[in-house]
Amino acid sequence: MIHITLERKITGSELIKDFEYEYKSLENLKKLLEEDPENVLLQLNLDDWKYHLNHPDAEVKDERRILTHEMPIDDLELILMDHIKNKNPKSVEELAEMVHEDVKKVHSKLEGLEEAGFIILHREQKDNVTPALRYNSIKITI
């Protein structure tokens, strides 16, 4: 079994931005909870959102654990995340150039990493996507 722990320290306002990214609005989260009232994660996220609206500067230790039988990320994805963290590329094209890979391949890998929750792709302009890590550290235990 492979254990992956994703950790970060953020402020309450940053946590709210993540909730907005995931749920779009507080009202959408409430609707999801109405549809699935037994979902503990939705309830916890709603409680956190409400709390941090009044405490935006409070520090939050966010931790996510993944248990799997297969490694969910490959070598190239690890390299991409390392470059995102340490070299801060401003675009997918710049990142692809840094790792000497095709832009389409890198973009595809980044989309998979975003879907898995490892990164965020900021789409500020139509033609510019900036990758950013969601977590300060990723620990993999086999």
Question: Does 125 have pLDDT greater than 80?
Answer: no
pLDDT reading at 127 higher than 80: no
Q: 56, 140, 117: which is closest to 132 by C-alpha? A: 117
pLDDT average, residue stretch 77-103: 96
pLDDT digits 0-9 by tens, 66-79: 888 888 889 999 99
Per-residue pLDDT at 102: 97
What domains lie within the chain, and their CATH numbers? 2-68 (no CATH), 75-135 (1.10.10.10)
Phi/psi for 4 (5° steps) reads -120, 125
Decide: 98 and 62 in contact? Cβ < 8 Å.
no
- Give 119's pLDDT tier (boundaries 50, 70, 90): very high
This prediction's pTM: 0.72
By three-state DSSP, how is residue 25 classified? coil
What pLDDT sits at residue 138? 87
